[in-house]
């Protein structure tokens, strides 16, 4: 099998079987997803998805389940891609218990969209609302700390350089 098409078929079949084993291992467990978006070499937007779950032996697993090409990285497009993956693998939003993103603001918009999604349970919408608030509080606190650090460095520099630097 040296033809590129044959090789692609074999790789795709292996990927499908591997993901089916992962989905079977997840079973009826609750799980969070980890999502990151970026551009590939040809500058096409893509989103990678990882499931985190505890297996029957009690081990925490993180399993990559695929890359989805997306038309854009807007919240609506990313939410649609997540819904597509969930549908393809027969995963239920009601078992979703967390989401991890790279901190991008558009991913916070995805969280907000899930809060408004009527197919999600009240508890799940409440969990997402709390997560969204935590992210926003963390961003605020992080920015305050960053400002404090930058301003503190500036003050130290001014103290040490006082009278040594002439402003042109």
Mean pLDDT by 10 residues, the chain (168 residues): 80 88 90 80 83 87 88 80 90 79 59 66 71 60 56 57 53
What is the pTM (predicted TM-score) of this model?
A: 0.59
Kindly list the domain boundaries of the chain, sorted by start residue. Answer: 4-161
31-39 vs 45-54, strand pairing mode:
antiparallel
- Per DSSP, what are the bridge partners of residue 39? 45
In angstroms, how far is the first alpha carbon of the chain from the final one? 71
């Amino acid at each position: 099998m040296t033809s590129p098409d044959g090789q692609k078929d074999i790789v795709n079949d292996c990927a499908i079987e591997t993901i089916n084993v992962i989905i079977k291992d997840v079973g009826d467990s609750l799980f969070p997803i980890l999502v990151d978006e970026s551009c590939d070499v040809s500058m096409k937007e893509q989103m990678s998805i990882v499931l985190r779950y505890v297996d029957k032996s009690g081990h925490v697993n993180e399993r990559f389940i695929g890359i989805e090409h997306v038309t854009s990285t807007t919240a609506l497009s990313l939410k649609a891609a997540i819904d597509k993956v969930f549908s393809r693998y027969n995963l239920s939003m009601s078992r979703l218990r967390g989401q991890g993103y790279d901190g991008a603001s558009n991913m916070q918009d995805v969280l907000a969209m899930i809060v408004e999604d009527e197919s999600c349970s009240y508890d799940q919408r409440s969990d997402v609302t709390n997560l969204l608030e935590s992210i926003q509080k963390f961003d605020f606190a992080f920015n305050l700390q960053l400002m404090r650090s930058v301003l503190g460095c500036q003050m130290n520099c001014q103290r040490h350089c006082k009278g040594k630097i002439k402003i042109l």
